Amino acid sequence: MTIGKRIFVPLSILVVLFISALAANYYYTSAKEKKSIYKDEIKKLTIFFNKEYKVKEDFGLTNAIMLSGNEFVTSMMMDGSKDYTEKGLKGLLAEFKKDTDLKNVKIQIHDPTAYSMLRVWDPTKFGDNLSSYRKTILHVIKTKKPLVAIEIGPLGLVLRGVAPIIEDHSYLGSVEFIQGFNSILKDAKREKKEVIIVMKKQYLNIATALKKSEMLGDYVLAVHKKNINLEFMNELKGIDISKSNTLLKSKNYIFVSVPMKDFSGKIVGYALVGQNKKIVNKVVDSSMDSVFDQIVASLIAFLAFMLILYFIIKKAVLTPLSNLTQRAKELSSGDGDLTQKLEVNGNDEIALASIEINNFIEKVRV
């Protein structure tokens, strides 16, 4: 094997090793980047839901407080004018439904001992004692301060803003502003996200309105089925959604399970907030295109370096060595031109060998 080949072979091996390292780095980075982007997406989904939920909390508390001083509410508490209050509050709810995404808000008024006085959505049902399962009302009776919290009742898993009705320092009762979570689902659709809210089925004995809702294992759908992505819901079946605040995957979605706690701090359900993998993978592909461009640039730079190195070696070593070899062959065959000396460049081994051959030629000529 010639010296040229001996040099070319290891250089070629270096190129192959470098390309292999780049390929391994690309696939490692690809997997790492995908995991990182999925993790970031789960954070974004969690932040999205928490932000939406906080808006509903603030809205519920504010409206409960406003209702506690509303003339329709106080009129009923002061003089028992139920028909006037019912008509006025129905008009108020109609405005909500007309001008906002809140199509299913409800109002209820309780007396000072937690008995229902008026359900605006069902005026014929009143006079029942709520104290056995409505801890929010009891807390307002005790503290005389407003609050907002999830509390399961016949309507299901809903968010309740409850405020005391006080006139001349006298506690007359309380009013609650009730919201479902369908508006969050609508906002999610606009953001190209998926949200499904489920309740533990053990509460169906209280949440009678949900008894005919879709079942998902140990859970029951707590929002209107028409507002959800059925593909997403069907893929949730068989997945342990109690693994909260972590990355969960189905066939076509990544999602996070956000616990929904009631007034007592118990987990009564979960918000399943998801994103289609196709959307997330577009972000991954975009990121990996950038990584790929960097790898291609590194490869081009490395190959250019190796090519320059090869030409430097060829000029500095292989060509002078080839000339030296050829001259030695000519001299050994007796056909060499003794008037021509070898060119000497530098003081390396080839230069020293050339000097010795030149000395030999000089002696022969003499």
Q: How far is the C-alpha of 197 from the C-alpha of 105, rounded, in Å?
A: 17
Report DSSP letters for 94-146, one per residue: HHHHHHSS--S-EEEEE-TTSBEEEETT-TT----B-TTT-HHHHHHHHH---
Distances (CA, A) of 323 to 16, 256, 316: 31, 73, 12
The pLDDT, as a whole number, for residue 107 is 95
Starting at the edge strand that comes first in sequence, how are the strands of the sheet with 156-167 ordered? 116-119, 106-110, 170-179, 156-167, 147-153
DSSP state of 168: T
What residues in the chain have per-residue pLDDT under 50?
1
Q: Is 7 exposed, middle or buried (0-12, 13-18, 19+ CB in 10 A)?
A: middle
Residue closest to 258 by CA, chosen among 52, 59, 41, 50:
50
The pLDDT, as a whole number, for residue 66 is 95
The pLDDT, as a whole number, for residue 207 is 94
DSSP state of 262: B
Find all residues with CB under 8 Å of 344, minimum gap 6, and list them.
351, 354, 355, 358
Residue closest to 255 by CA, chosen among 231, 279, 236:
236
The pLDDT, as a whole number, for residue 284 is 59
Find all residues with CB under 8 Å of 22, minimum gap 6, and list them.
295, 298, 299
The pLDDT, as a whole number, for residue 301 is 75
**Structural element, H or E, at residue 176:** strand 170-179
SS3 call for 174: strand
Q: How far is the C-alpha of 59 from the C-alpha of 88, rounded, in Å?
A: 20
SS3 call for 206: coil
DSSP state of 352: H
Q: How far is the C-alpha of 234 from the C-alpha of 160, rounded, in Å?
A: 29
The pLDDT, as a whole number, for residue 231 is 94
The pLDDT, as a whole number, for residue 360 is 66
Q: How far is the C-alpha of 216 from the C-alpha of 198, rounded, in Å?
A: 8
The pLDDT, as a whole number, for residue 332 is 60
The pLDDT, as a whole number, for residue 28 is 59
**Structural element, H or E, at residue 179:** strand 170-179
Starting at the edge strand that comes first in sequence, how are the strands of the sheet with 253-261 ordered? 215-216, 219-221, 194-200, 267-276, 253-261, 248-249
- Please, what is the angle between helix 182-190 and helix 3-68, to 10°? 140
Question: What does DSSP say about strands 194-200 and 219-221: parallel, antiparallel, or unpaired?
Answer: antiparallel
Q: Which residues pair with 119 in a beta bridge?
A: 108
